[in-house]
Amino acid sequence: MDLPWIGFGTWVDLQEGERPEIMTSLVTEALRVGYRSFDTAENYFTEPYVIRALLNSQLPRDQYFLTSKSDLPPDLNQLKARTNEIGYFDLFLLHGPPLDPTNFKTVLTQYWINMNKLLASGRVRQIGVSNFYLNELSTLLEICSEFNLVPPAVNQLEVHPFNWEADLVQFCQSNNILVTAHSPLAGMASPLLLTSEPVQRVAQRIGSSSAQAVLASTLSRGIVVIPKSQRVNRMRENLDSLTFVDEITPQDQVTLRSLDAGFPLLERSSAAKQFDQTLNGV
């Protein structure tokens, strides 16, 4: 199964008291609404609950797409334990680059050799990265060429009108790396984004909600989106963004890009990009 254009994000805000186990019921609702792609991670603590809901659905394994990620490549026994019931991850991501400039390339090389071993095991079907920026990603592609390794199929990034990432998206796409936008509605800044005049102007023109206008504009750039919601009506609204993609014009993109602040908002994304700017052909 190919990665669907809209997936369901399963991060929870532990500091705000959200509980990982809520994902069993939320993923069940998302499946009912029509989602078939689910994004989780080891440090979200939701992975077991997402898997439980998928298994409870009794859908054939090839009828849904499951992405997970880890900060460090797990060893094969750890991966087998995580996929024991589900069989495999359709996509497995290195959650971020090793943030050590003194031996960045050496450590990343070992990480990516290990990621390739996971791919060879059959317990993951594709491998990719998350929160890799231009220098980090360029170094990884050099490693793949040098050591004859499978390159990343996906780079999962923070992309939304406040953080457009035009150069990085173009670089990924020119290197056959699919971009997936996490936090596509700007996370905690979502209320500010969705009430902004440019977003409301585009939404009014195409006859959509503000969230649908933002998601449709990102989709029209050839970028997968994985919004999250705990409300069924919002789940449906986000999924229906696909119907507005063809309505987005180049002028709409110019309008929305006017909001670009040029830097990610989330702490993990921001740290990776700041580190990336310290690298100069490491």
Q: Which residues are catalytic?
A: 44
The residue written with tokens 């603590």 in the block is 45
Ramachandran assignment for 67, one of left (phi > 0), alpha (psi -120 to 50 degrees), beta (any other): beta
What is the 3-state composition of the chain as percent helix, strand, coil, each rounded to the nearest 5?
50, 15, 35
CA dist., res. 168 & res. 148, Å (int): 23
Residues 6+ apart with CB under 8 A from 13: none
Quick one: 42 exposed, middle or buried, by C-beta within 10 A (0-12, 13-18, 19+)?
A: middle
Pairing of strands 224-225, 154-158: unpaired
